[in-house]
Copies of this chain bind each other. A is one copy, B any other.
Amino acid sequence: MKSVNKVAIIGTGVIGASWAAFYLSQGFQVSAFDPAPDAEHNLSNRVQIYLRDLFELEEHKLDDLQTYITDLLNNLSFYGHIADAVKDADFIQENGPERIDLKKHLYAQLTQNCPRDTIIASSSSGLKISDIQQDCVYPERIVLGHPFNPPHLLPLVEIIGGEKTQARYIQDAFEFYRSLGKKPILIQKEVKGHVANRLQSAIWREAFYLVSEGVCSAEDIDTAITNGPGLRWAIFGPYLNMQLANQQGFKAAMHHLGEPMSEWWADMKPYALTEEKIDMLDNETQQFIHKLGDRNLQETRNQALLKTLKMRAELDLP
């Protein structure tokens, strides 16, 4: 892979701005483009907030926070034309809207204006690269680089190519993210929602179903997760936890749990969202939030994420 000096961020909403802060913190020049009014102003504001998190995460920094932010912001350039943002970019992280027609149009522009061997990684959570790359010149360097929100803090990046992507670019993207301290995974087959969103949506479905059926409240669901299995999922995933569920390991745990688990699966119903259900679930959520008082939930979550990431690094968790 060619050496990366400049990263272009295309689309600078919440995800794009978070990526921008991350790449700045890794020492890259960052060029950004977004057609929205106020995009430049909003990007600068968001990047400063996210850089504060990253400063806290990297305790070894000697500079003070303000110097750190000012220095890194000098490496950020916003452009009014997409061609200017990508013309000498060595890596592109794209965060446009999740509509295939818009995405295809965007990628036609990107590929016509950036160097032909620059990898373009899409943050798309739902679309397939095979669909995105259809109308592009040099589609072989287009990959999925799907982060989790907020990308400046969460290490996961899901990677896969489309039908026209060359294997070496997929491998290069994987190594690039890994070299920056991210935790990339290489998906072997294009499926809807990739991997992590499918796992996440499996929980959502059952969480929505149980509350809709009156089994428990939204607050109970959140308590059940954060004081039960969710506590373990920040440490080990489902496979290692299953290994620890029985003193004889994974297979014994599966033999022990297999039968009841299969019964629970059989009892889990399809679930269709309606406007009424969304209203009801929202109402439950707002009641729960009201009980939590005045605190800033976003800030609390990011503080907790920082502490959890430090704990994971200290214990060298996989």
Q: A226: which of B235, B254, B255, B292 is its contact (CB, 8 Å)?
A: B235
- B201 x A187 contact (CB < 8 A): no
Measured in the bound complex, the distance between the Cα atoms of B290 and A239 in whole Å is 13
Which of the 9-residue segments A25-33, A67-75, A163-171, A280-288 touches chain B?
A: A280-288
- A262 x B273 contact (CB < 8 A): yes
Measured in the bound complex, the distance between the Cα atoms of B166 and A221 in whole Å is 24
- B188 x A214 contact (CB < 8 A): yes
Is A318 in the interface zone, CB < 8 Å from B? yes
The complex is assembled from copies of this chain, and their number is 2
Is A232 in the interface zone, CB < 8 Å from B? yes
- B300 x A158 contact (CB < 8 A): no
Interface set, chain A 214-250, CB cutoff 8 A to B: 214-216, 218-245, 247, 249-250
Measured in the bound complex, the distance between the Cα atoms of B231 and A181 in whole Å is 16
Interface residues of A (CB under 8 A from B): 14, 98, 125-126, 148-149, 154-156, 158, 183, 185-189, 191-193, 195-207, 210, 213-216, 218-245, 247, 249-251, 254-255, 258, 260-265, 267-268, 270-273, 278-279, 281-282, 284-286, 288-289, 292, 297-298, 300-301, 303-305, 307-309, 311-312, 314-315, 317-318
